[in-house]
Amino acid sequence: MPRMPRPELADARDQGLHNIGEAARLSGVSAKMIRHYESIGLIPPAGRTFAGYRLYNEADLHRLAFIRRARGLGFSIKQIEALLGLWDDRSRASAEVKRLAQAHVDELAEKIAEMQAMQRTLQDLALRCHGDERPECPILEDLAKPPRGDDGE
């Protein structure tokens, strides 16, 4: 939707446009993040009122909601940029969207496995710790160990 040239805020509201506070409330994205997304090009530059206030249309709100949902699913900004490009491309192949989503699923599975391994290690250390007045503590002893060689630690 083409941007109107610098209306007054009341006129902008009559045209169905929203200031940044309203856009934040309606999209669930904070005003700070809206400005950030604009600065990195995830959303188009906002139209402005005569006084310089940012204005957002329904398409902007829909795009912000898309970004919010994608962030909620853990997609990175780079991944969201790619997804937005595919969303904007009506001739896209859904195979590319699926590929991006599956790659993210695989990344999440790897992170979950790493976190579960951390949980098991900490649980084991906590079970071995007496948690009493004695100074011996397997948790601190484990943390104080020097890094191991080639296993990535």
Tell whether 97 and 63 lie within a shared domain.
Answer: no
Question: Domain residues for 9?
Answer: 1-73
Domain count, the chain: 2
Question: Of 73, 104, 128, which closes a domain?
Answer: 73
Q: What distance in Å separates the CA atoms of residue 66 and residue 93, rounded to the nearest whole number?
A: 19
Tell whether 55 and 117 lie within a shared domain.
Answer: no
Q: What distance in Å separates the CA atoms of residue 149 and residue 89, rounded to the nearest whole number?
A: 48
For residue 84, tell me if it sits in a domain.
no
Tell whether 66 and 6 lie within a shared domain.
Answer: yes
For residue 78, tell me if it sits in a domain.
no
Q: What distance in Å separates the CA atoms of residue 20 and residue 34, rounded to the nearest whole number?
A: 8
* pLDDT tens across the length of the chain (153 residues): 455 456 676 776 777 789 999 999 999 999 999 999 999 999 999 988 888 889 999 999 999 999 999 999 999 999 999 999 999 999 999 999 999 999 999 999 999 999 999 999 999 999 999 888 888 898 999 999 998 765 555
What pTM was estimated for this model as a whole?
0.78
Q: What distance in Å separates the CA atoms of residue 60 and residue 20, rounded to the nearest whole number?
A: 11
